[in-house]
Amino acid sequence: MTAYEQFCRHAAEINDILCAINVLQWDARIQMPPEGAQTRGYQLATLTRLAQERFTSAENGRLIEVAESELTGADPDSYPVRAVKAAREAYDIFQRIPQDLLAGRAALSAEAQNVWAEARKKNDYALFAPYLKQMLAYAQQMAEAIGYSDHPYDALLVQYEPGMTAQRLQTLFAELRAVSLPLLERITAAGPQPKPAFLEREFPIEQQRAFAIEASVAFGYDLNRGRVDVAPHPFEISFTRQDVRITTRYQLRYPFAAIFGLMHETGHGLYELGAAPELTRSALTSDYLGMYAVGGASFGMHEAQSRMWENLVGRSLAFWQVYYPRLQEYFSTQLADVSLDTFYRAANRVQPSLIRVEADEVTYNLHIMLRTEIEMGLLDGTYTVDELPAAWNAKMEEYLGLTPPDDAQGVLQDVHWATGYFGSFPTYTLGNIMSGQLMAAARRQVSGLDDALARCEYAPLHNWLIDNIYRHARAYTPDELLIRATGEALHTGPYLAYLTEKFDALYPG
């Protein structure tokens, strides 16, 4: 057995543990009874510690070293070289992280998510605040352990978006604000847009589910390797490319939550399903810093897929010109008197709102900027956890002109801080930016793509994404993938052009 094969066998065993962690996390968020939270936390902590110990062991360090030596002179872009390189980079960082940090965070996460769900239901921020303080302490310890030169946020971004920094984020955010804020001001100048009357009707849940799954399968989601469940906060999770699960949530009088929510999670699922088979159970489908199994290059690149399939495809006029008659078949009573134009405009209505996951495309990034700035402030001491509700409300007023009536619709609306994902929020906006670049490149490179999309034939786009993004899993950094696929590093131009063209047409001056 070669040195690289020994390295791969060890990496596969670590991946098995990480996939088992994902299974327990899926169960905790889907069907675990509330009283199971504490013991589930112990189980997750134990498995996380086992995975961390195996990864940080002297034996793994030796395997990495001998594999590096054996691969000297090999193609630097080959999967074997990239796998060993990824393991080396994570191994070196891990030498600086206290052994009990990740296990402690994992143990807290299961219980904190359960408390967050209860606090949100009861509109009781004080119930969740002690857990958030503990999670923040873990995030601060992680930042100090990883190390940074400018801002502690830089260290946390390494876990989710390699190559990104707080300063680079601020530059990108400024470019987005320069275009999106004037666009928003022009659209909303006439005053609030009323919610379309048909959205006050009841849309039976079973029909919502059936249509949402039909669209997901049309995009390419494989139900033989996946399933669809209900969750209070939609998510996707994978246990290798052979088992990739997605969720959504349903509102009786707001079918868009389920339809577009599942489109979003389908994009994540397609990414995981599209990894090259030979990368299964490998270092390139393992996130060693976060201690979970995932096949995407970064959270931002993952969000690029979900935002592309949800917005650039799912909210497009081309999609609904074909699928709206089908939706009317599912909801013949509710939509009989609703025209395609009325429905399409409702699906793309621009209106500042309280809830991020239901925000329109023009205001969505403002929700992300708010959260990112708060996270930076929590890390550098600008805000305390006790001050968070007031800080949240002030920024909502500043960016969106709204004040949440309660914490359930404000600071408690996202699960991310309960899971310890400090540093992940900006990846949603990075995903938006990347989605614009990738779609523009696909249109240049795939002959007849727009005609195929007009017929709702998604294989050409799906196959291009598999070839250029999905199959590589974590082999390349986000910027490397963008350069390989589009010829350019991350920039806002194509995404801003998409936003301007779409919403100028929907809301002519």
Q: Annotated catalytic sites, by residue?
A: 265
In the three-class reduction of DSSP (H, G, I as helix; E, B as strand; rest coil), residue 498 is classed as helix
Residue 331 to residue 167: CA distance in whole angstroms: 48
C-alpha dihedral over 463, 468, 469, 470, to 10 degrees?
40
Q: Return phi, psi of residue 495, to 5°.
A: -65, -45
Reading the block at residue 74, the tokens are 């090999």
Count of Cβ atoms closer than 10 Å to residue 85 Cβ: 16
Cα(312)–Cα(317) distance, rounded to whole angstroms? 10
- Rounded CA-CA distance 171/433 in Å is 13
Angle separating helix axes 37-56 and 99-122, nearest 10 degrees: 150
Q: Which of 496, 40, 471 is nearest to 241 (CA)?
A: 471
Start-to-end C-alpha separation, the chain: 68
Neighbouring-strand partners of residue 248: 230
Nearest 5°: the CA angle 282, 430, 399 is 145
211: tokens are 């249509």
